[in-house]
Amino acid sequence: MATLQTFYERMFFIRRFEESLLDLFSLGKLVGTTHTYIGQEANAVGVIEHLDPDRDVIFSNHRCHGHYLAFTDDAFGLLCEVMGKAPGVCGGKGGSQHLCKGNFYSNGVLGSIVPVATGIALAEKKKGTGAVSTVFLGDGTLGEGVTYESLNIASLWQLPVLFVVENNHYAQSTPVELELAGSIAARGAAFGVETAELDTTDVDMIHEAAGQAISRIRETSAPYFLVLNTYRFSPHSKSDDQRDPAEIEERRTRDPLLVAGARLADDERSAIEARCEERLAETVEAADAAPAAQPEAA
Amino acid sequence: MSVPQKRCVQVLNEALHEIFASRADVYLFGEDILDPYGGAFKVTQGLSDGYPDRVFTTPISEASLFGVAAGMALRGQRPILEVMFGDFIALGFDQVVNGISKFREMYDDQVMVPLVVRTPMGGRRGYGPTHSQSLEKLLLGIPNICVVAASECHDLRALLTHAVEDDGPVFFIENKLMYGRVNRRPDDGHIGELAVRESSGPYPALTFSGTNFAEASATVVTYGGMVPVVLDAVTGLILEHEIFCEVVALSQLLPMGLDAVYESVGRTGALVTAEEGTLTGGFGAEIAARVQAAAWSDLRAPVQRVAARDGIIPSARPLEDAMLPSVHDVVEAIAALEGVRQ
């Protein structure tokens, strides 16, 4: 059972990792794109604490760094991948959105990943591994039809899939009110899938709800639909943000780091943060020094 | 004939039964494949009764099923997805273009995606615009997949077995008219009056010759449901006009390997491509580009292409017949090659 200290450390490290990516972009050390997870860290940390990296499987989306770090703790492999360095976890071929390591996968087309996670669940069920296949969606993904085909199949065939919908209230720049009709939770329920919805940035509460969801899946081998209402503080990608700054400021008062950090003693929190900063600095230095990915000699 | 000849649908069905009996990691997904119905074209008959834990009749959700098969393959299984009509592969294209074909390379060879998509293409049954197409050319532009086209003259059992054993994604294209026809295999090096050579490899090319591979007037390269049409055309030319052509029937369309075509063009000096799909941007266009680059000095005439008109396949049979390439179209294309004379 992980402690609040551990949760805080993981969340803080993800936060600082993502902020560093934006800094590295401005320094010209990154090219391409990134979709940072800043503000949503409690979801990844709270849910993934219940998953076993040697057995369970995650399929994540374009905003995958938080999930990847929480599951694999491989900051160097991820940073190198995003920086186009040879030691990157996919040799620089995947970049920010297309990661694979052990039982972790991500891909960059919304919705596309949901049936694949469903097929993974079927394979694991047939193999009898007891694995849970977790797929992270967002509110934007709910616009894609394959999401519903997959919910139908997962329920029909009783597959151990955890659908985690991180509703950060924006599909790129489009507010959820302009992209979604009806209730999100009702979408799971409509397919006969057990559903829970949370509206919190408290990692302990998310951890508890995810624990119940995953226990249910392990017990029944049936899917579960977990809706986490959340918010990202950073732009969709890098500088594409037209949201009302007042809205962002209001959301920042519920920053998952503030919520969890308030329960830690000041010196404890500072020590954790210093440890993360040191590890991050070492990671950035090592990745920066690593050789760039090169085409194989013909 | 010394070998009893079976219809293609039966050969494919028996091959699937053998594959299921010999491998525990093979699964089948498709619409309406449960017995006693056994699939719209009956290729999967008996499998759901024989292997109920590994045969899934599915919702009508092609887009998702391509992904489900991909997930199974990523986790070490060998799924076969039956898509009822070839036209419906369009529903699965995101999975093919952005997932199935990319996973292995973009994940730096950490995974394999050994899945087979079986689907029937082809018209001439009056099924109309959305149930009659030959869409192979849409697949030819996707790197990192294998496209295999079965024909009634190929060893269908071997082709399908190799497809399932392939460590990468394979589209296994069947043909609706082929199902009911006899799987004609070479007997003493011949099919009918034509001598036949078969190339090596899992998905061989068949080369047919009326001159026992001596000099001939032209080569026609084709695949799938066009193979019998082209063989009829070439046989007719021999009987009626004493024009001798070679036919190369490919089974591996992608990655494209044209050694059999280059060899044949070396003997004939002229090439016609024949496909049932629409003309523009097709199989013939790609082959023409490759052959002119690789065998320019062998060619004495521009490559001719036979294909469907660039339009829809109408339902009414006379309209459909006018749209799809015929024996006559193949004969005309051969006749149009400069230097081919009666």
Mean pLDDT of chain B: 96
Same structural domain for residues B12 and B120? yes
CA-based max dimension of chain B: 60
Kindly report the CATH number assigned to the domain that includes residue B159: 3.40.50.970
B131 is a catalytic site residue: yes
Q: At what angle do helices A4-26 and A266-289 cross, to 10 degrees?
A: 40
- Among the listed ranges A180-194, A240-254, B187-201, B318-332, which one has the minimum average pLDDT value? A240-254
C-beta of residue A171 within 8 angstroms of C-beta of residue A139: yes
pLDDT tens profile A71-117? 999 999 999 999 999 999 999 999 999 999 999 999 999 999 999 99
Q: Are residues B173 and B199 in the same domain?
A: no
Answer yes or no: is B342 within a domain: no
Q: Which residue carries 């809205």 as its tokens?
A: A247
Radius of gyration of chain A (CA): 19
Asked if residue B52 and residue B22 are part of one domain, the reply reads yes
> Which pLDDT score is estimated for B1?
47
User: How high is the pLDDT of residue A238?
Assistant: 75
C-beta separation of B151 from B223 below 8 A: yes
B69 close to A (CB below 8 A): yes
pLDDT tens readout for residues A196-205:
999 999 999 9
Cis, peptide link before residue B302, omega less than 30° from 0: no
**Residue at which a domain ends, from B127, B156, B179:** B179
- Show which of B137, B157, B179 is a domain's final residue: B179
In CATH, what number is assigned to the domain containing residue B251? 3.40.50.920
- When scoring B51, B64, B100 by the number of chain A Cβ atoms within 10 A, the one with the most, hence best to mutate, is B64
pLDDT in tens, A36-61: 999 999 999 999 999 999 999 999 99
CB-nearest partner of A112 from B56, B69, B94: B94
The answer on B194 and B175 residing in a single domain is: no
What are the extents of the domains in chain A?
4-186+198-289
Joined tokens for residue A242: 């037209």
Q: Which helix (H) or strand (E) holds A90?
A: none
Encoded amino acid at A84, one letter: G
Whose CA is closest to A90, among B109, B114, B76? B109
Decide if B184 is inside a domain. Answer: no
Confidence of residue B340 (pLDDT cuts 50, 70, 90): low
| Residue pLDDT, tens place only, A170-211 | 888 889 999 999 999 999 999 999 999 999 999 999 999 999
Residue of A nearest to B76 (CA): A123
Encode B50-67: b = buried (16+ Cβ within 10 Å), e = exposed. Answer: ebeebbbbbeebbbbbbb
Q: What is the spatial distance between Cα B24 and Cα B336, in angstroms, rounded to a whole number? A: 53
Q: Are residues B206 and B240 in the same domain?
A: yes
> Is some CB atom of chain B closer than 8 A to the CB atom of A192?
no
Q: Is the ipTM of this complex over 0.85?
A: yes
Residues of chain B in contact with residue A109, where contact means CB-CB under 8 angstroms, are 94, 98-99
* Same domain as B162, residue B20: yes
Q: Of B147, B179, B211, which residue is a domain's last?
A: B179
Cα–Cα distance measured from residue B145 to residue B156, given in angstroms and rounded to the nearest whole number: 20
Domain that holds residue B122: 8-179
Buried b (16+ CB within 10 A) or exposed e, A146-155: bbbbbbbbbb
Q: A4-186+198-289 sits in which CATH class?
A: alpha beta
Asked if residue B3 belongs to a domain, the reply is no
Residues B168 and B196 in one domain: no
Q: Which of B98, B107, B110, B115 to mutate to test the interface with A (most CBs of A within 10 A)?
A: B107
Is residue B2 one of the residues assigned to a domain?
Answer: no
- Tally of structural domains, chain B: 2
Q: Which residues of A touch B76 (CB under 8 A)?
A: 123, 127
The percent of residues above 90 in pLDDT, for chain B, comes to: 97
